[in-house]
Amino acid sequence: MKIGNTIKIIACIVLGVFFLTCLMHTKFVAAVFFAVLLVVLFFTGSKRTTKEEQLPVLTKTKEEHYTQLGMSEQEITFFRDTMNTAKKQIVQLQKNMNASTKLRAIDLRNDTLRVSKAMFKELVKEPKKLHLANHFLYTHLPNLVDLTGKYLEINDHEIKNKQTYEKLEESSQVIDQVSKLIKKDYEQFVADDLEDLDVEISVAKNSLKRDNEPKEDA
């Protein structure tokens, strides 16, 4: 058990004792005060513990990587929290896509899962570029998870009428469009890397050309 949790439990017990003591002596105002403190302490501590348990352990290698990039402790925490959410969404998206033949076809056509995982890896390598992935992280990825989840929910209806099939078709078209947007997000994110590679290739070609040119005798 963590020290923080132990202190919280002890504090709750102490406040509980004060609460009961005040009730026994008919000091209702004081009792209410201690009851409020008890509730605030309990729920505040619970939320903090839950968030800590959700985040994976920060390895020494990753910590050094973030520190070398000049990230502050607050930036690291925000980045890890954001990426942890994105990872869960990608896992859920994979489950959703694999649960339907139609969704699997959309995934194969757009490389949705592969692109999403590639985007995740690129962000882990370059966390300072987090702001360049806003559309992917906060709009397109969560929307796609919701859309595919709703699609599966409707598709599981025992009895389907014309309207149901029309909604499924409409949903699949929107899912396909959002999948294309995710691919576009990735292409835009790595565009600078591709431009840098073009420059390096151009320099290398010029160097090879110079080296292969016949040299005049003195």
Q: What percent of the chain has pLDDT over 90?
A: 55
Same domain, 122 and 43: no
Q: What percent of the chain has pLDDT over 70?
A: 63
Q: What is the pLDDT of residue 166?
A: 95
pLDDT band for position 28 (50/70/90)?
A: low
Q: What is the pLDDT of residue 49?
A: 44
Distance (Å, whole) CA 94 – CA 96: 5
Same domain, 134 and 96: yes
Same domain, 11 and 84: no
Q: What is the pLDDT of residue 130?
A: 94
Residue 107 lies in a domain: yes
Dihedrals phi, psi of 196, to nearest 5 degrees? -60, -40
Span 23-39, mean pLDDT? 51
Residue pLDDT, tens place only, 137-159: 999 999 999 999 999 999 999 89
pLDDT at 1 over 80: no
pLDDT at 178 over 80: yes
| Distance from the Cα of residue 56 to its chain's centroid | 13
Residue pLDDT, tens place only, 56-83: 788 888 888 898 999 999 999 999 999 9
Dihedrals phi, psi of 11, to nearest 5 degrees? -60, -40
Residue 188 lies in a domain: yes
Q: What is the pLDDT of residue 175?
A: 98
Same domain, 106 and 137: yes
Q: Which domain holds residue 171?
A: 60-203
Q: What is the pLDDT of residue 48?
A: 46
Distance (Å, whole) CA 97 – CA 100: 6
Same domain, 50 and 123: no
Same domain, 47 and 66: no
Q: What is the pLDDT of residue 55?
A: 77
Residue pLDDT, tens place only, 79-134: 999 999 999 999 999 999 999 999 999 999 999 999 999 999 999 999 999 999 99
More confident residue, 43 or 167: 167
Distance (Å, whole) CA 72 – CA 62: 13
Span 38-63, mean pLDDT? 62
In the chain, the number of structural domains is 2
Same domain, 89 and 36: no
Same domain, 125 and 35: no
pLDDT band for position 203 (50/70/90)?
A: very low
Alpha-carbon distance values, 10 to 6, 17, 33, 206 (Å)? 6, 11, 18, 72
Same domain, 160 and 64: yes
Same domain, 33 and 99: no
The model carries a pTM of 0.66
Residue 211 lies in a domain: no
Same domain, 97 and 199: yes
